[in-house]
Structure formats: C-alpha cells, structure tokens
Amino acid sequence: AFACRFHTSSNAPPSREVALCWDADRLDLPRVGIEPALEYFHTDAAKAIVRSGEYRTLDTCLE
C-alpha cells in the first residue's frame, strides 16, 4: 500500500522492496515518451539502465 500511496510524492522509500517497485515503474516511462530522471532511482541496476539509455534491455528480459 505504501508503494502505491507515496509513489509520486516521496523520494525516500522505507524498504528495498518499495525502492524496487518504484524503480521498475519508472523504468517503463520511456514506453510513453517520458525520459526518466536519474535522481529518482534507488537501485544500482536501475541507475545503470538509465545511464546507458538502453531501456530495450528490459524487453528482452521476458523473452
């Protein structure tokens, strides 16, 4: 519930699980034409994807 309630109004997740949820959602922003801002990510893996700009990598994870 916290992850959904504070998704857009907080930048300090209380747990790694919430951070992962927020990062996963933000990594999907390019799908709707929004470039994610690095400062809103919490995990090293998500930050690496944002820095590389290779969001297509996420599409191949499910293949």
- For residue 56, the model assigns a pLDDT of 72
- Between CA 42 and CA 53 the distance in angstroms is 16
Q: pLDDT band for position 10 (50/70/90)?
A: low
Please give the model's pTM, rounded to 2 decimal places: 0.74
- For residue 5, the model assigns a pLDDT of 67
Q: pLDDT band for position 63 (50/70/90)?
A: low
- For residue 54, the model assigns a pLDDT of 84
- Between CA 52 and CA 56 the distance in angstroms is 11
pLDDT, tens digit (0-9, with 9 covering 90-100), for 29-61: 988 899 999 999 999 999 999 999 887 766 666
